[in-house]
Structure 1
Amino acid sequence: MAKVQFDGVRKVYDNGQVAVHGASFEIADGELMVLVGPSGCGKSTLLRMVAGLEEISAGTLRIGERVVNDVAPKDRDIAMVFQNYALYPHMTVADNLAFGLKLRGHDKAEVQRRVQGAAEALGLTSMLDKLPRAMSGGQRQRVALGRALVREPSVFLLDEPLSNLDAKLRHSVRTEIAQLHRKLGTTMIYVTHDQVEAMTLGQRIVVLNEGQIQQIDAPMALYERPANLFVAGFLGSPAMNVLRGGLQRGAAGLALLLPEGEEVPLDGAAIDPAWLGGELVVGVRPEHLQPGQGAASFKARIEGIEPVGNEIFVNLRFGTQALVMRVPPQILPAVGDDISVEVLPAALHFFDAARGERIEAQRQAA
């Protein structure tokens, strides 16, 4: 096992495109760190630089205490699992697991020990004589994980390993990866564009956009205290509702005046009155909008109702603003009718309208 440290790591391609802008962070020994963001954000580039498959343009990358900028991939003591299983179709599971070890010259007893250990860890013992074509997608992905596992590396690198699986299999294999990490305690770096995978797997998450790190924190810390509008909108499904307007004080207390003239009551929200008259962005998670007629409520029109089993997504129209409300199963007004919606003031998020950055605690009321 080993920690991985990025110190000002930068990647610039020959055409001048900057894929990673000076990344600096550390992945602790034994940590499962997830790199997440939209396509083209630089997450896979970071992973490939750890693997040695991409040259580092500037900065320093360490695995353990060793600088590996110029170390060949085979000498980095890492193992990588790709989106594509890349199994040898003519080889059994056992032979696929053993192939890399045999190439590296391990003796038969050691190969057998490692193959058996990986098979037991991943529930593949009864499948060792099968060919890949006789296995499901989830089973084949477990073989790909096992092929990395037998290496007994210091660091596991997983590049969107579940993207080829259906939803049910993704959940199953995701659970297996989490259990495997808890059992092995090995450093893992996991790349995904799926925020659900990121939230459920990562001990910490690095959120990237356009090659820049937006925020690094534990999953729920990111969800409950996003550093900027990008993080706020990227993590969470449905996404956070965002309202832009001016902070004012009316007869009923603080309110956000939208450009169309509607008011969103904010009385009781932890926002410093020094922002009165200023332009703000207010974020509210769908679960923090609820039917109600309290002081912090407003009327919105129902445009759609989506029952999804244990909860309902209610699509609303408030002036020109589309909102989503998440509620438990209940009887609701019909589509096209108005509903009184109550804001939970303590759960609101405030962002600077110009920069998109979170208004920090020192700017908020104590």
Structure 2
Amino acid sequence: MATVRLDKLRKVYPNGHVGVADASFEIADGELLVLVGPSGCGKTTLLRMIAGLESISGGTLSMGDRVVNDVAPKDRDIAMVFQNYALYPHMTVAENLGFGLKLRKQDPAEIDRRVREAARTLELEHRLDSRPGALSGGQRQRVALGRALVRNPQVFLLDEPLSNLDAKLRLTMRVEIARLHRQLKATMIYVTHDQIEAMTLGQRIVVLNGGVIQQIDTPMNLYDKPANLFVAGFLGSPAMNFFRGTLQRDEGWTLSTPQGGLPLPVLPPALESWQGREIVLGVRPEDLQLQPQAERAQLSAQLEVIEPVGSEAFLNLRRGDQSLVSRLTTREMPEHGSTLHFQFVPERMHFFDASQGERIAS
């Protein structure tokens, strides 16, 4: 396996569009790193640049001790797993698994050994003589993973490999990929637009938007300390609630919003200098908690829709022209249309510069 280093990697298309802007980070040997962001954010372009399928406009890409900017894909010692499996329908599972090795003129006995080892790892031994058309979606995806596995490459690149699977299969395959990574201790770079996949699989996550890296961190640090409004709103399901307004201080702190004033608890010292300025307060749904005593509440909102999801429920609320969501863990559901009262968890409030979107240290 190998360390992968990106130093100001850049992709500019002939029409001037910047697909990736000066990406700099390092994937450690044996790390599973996830690239995540909305469609068009540059994550697949970045992965294809690492694979050698997309030319590099600027910067340096290294694998181990070697700069590979101009190295052909076949000489980079990488294996890529695509979204659409790309299996040969006329070949058996064993033939699909070993095809890449056969092209490289590996010894037939060695090919057979690697194929059987990969099939055992992926629990495909009983399907080695089957063709892809006879397999389930999850089995076909495992064959695609196995084809990369037999190569024993320095780096595995996975481009939204689970997006064609149904929800249950995606969950199963997420566990499978995590298990494989722990077993192989392989360097893996995984692209997805699904934040749940990113949070559950990645040891670290690179969040991209518009070709620009927004934040690189562990899943829980991204969730607990998002660097800006984009990261705060993108990661988390349901999304974070935002309250935009002017920070004011009279007898206590208040956030003056178009929907009315929000009384705030004692704020961290970093917020003192923001008095009279516009900020954005972010509160995650689980931190917008029901308060039975109206006089102790920080805000009131009307309940519009309840979404029960088993052990918890999402309350879709309306505060003036603002939509909010609260996560409720009790089975005692309030009535539709009722006015509910809430308070914030003080230590779980997030503050952002309203003009730049950057996090205000707290």
Determine the C-alpha separation between the residues in 2 that align with 1:242 and 1:288. 12
| Aligned position for 2:288 | 289
2:315 maps to a residue whose letter is V
Deviations 1:72-101 (A, max 9, x none): 000000000000111111111001101111
Q: CA deviation at 1:265?
A: 2.0
Q: TM-score, normalised by structure 2?
A: 0.97
Q: CA deviation at 1:250?
A: 4.1
Deviates most, 104-113 or 188-197: 104-113
Deviations 1:173-194 (A, max 9, x none): 1110000000000100000000
| Aligned position for 2:243 | 243
Deviations 1:81-129 (A, max 9, x none): 0001111111110011011111101001110111011111111111111
Q: What is the aligned residue count?
A: 359
2:319 maps to a residue whose letter is F
Identity of aligned residues (%): 67
Unaligned runs of 5+ in 2: none
Equivalent pair of 1:205/1:217 in contact (CA under 8 Å): yes
Determine the C-alpha separation between the residues in 2 that align with 1:142 and 1:278. 54
Equivalent pair of 2:36/2:195 in contact (CA under 8 Å): yes
Q: CA deviation at 1:296?
A: 4.9
1:341 maps to a residue whose letter is F
2:265 maps to 1:267: yes
SS at match of 1:145: helix
Q: TM-score, normalised by structure 1?
A: 0.96
2:358 maps to 1:357: yes
1:254 maps to a residue whose letter is W
Determine the C-alpha separation between the residues in 1 that align with 2:79 and 2:204. 20
1:113 maps to a residue whose letter is R
| Aligned position for 2:59 | 59
1:1-366 alignment, distance < 5 Å: 1-251=1-251, 253-260=252-259, 262-270=260-268, 272-292=271-291, 293=293, 295-361=296-362
Determine the C-alpha separation between the residues in 1 that align with 2:317 and 2:233. 18
SS at match of 1:158: strand
SS at match of 1:272: helix
Q: CA deviation at 1:303?
A: 1.1
SS at match of 1:74: helix
Deviations 1:135-177 (A, max 9, x none): 1000000000000000000000000000000000000011100
Q: CA deviation at 1:277?
A: 1.0
Q: CA deviation at 1:329?
A: 2.8
Q: CA deviation at 1:335?
A: 1.4
Determine the C-alpha separation between the residues in 2 that align with 1:266 and 1:224. 20
SS at match of 2:88: coil
Equivalent pair of 1:269/1:348 in contact (CA under 8 Å): no
Equivalent pair of 2:242/2:283 in contact (CA under 8 Å): yes
Determine the C-alpha separation between the residues in 2 that align with 1:273 and 1:91. 68
SS at match of 1:207: strand
| Aligned position for 1:364 | none
1:344 maps to a residue whose letter is V
Unaligned runs of 5+ in 1: 362-366
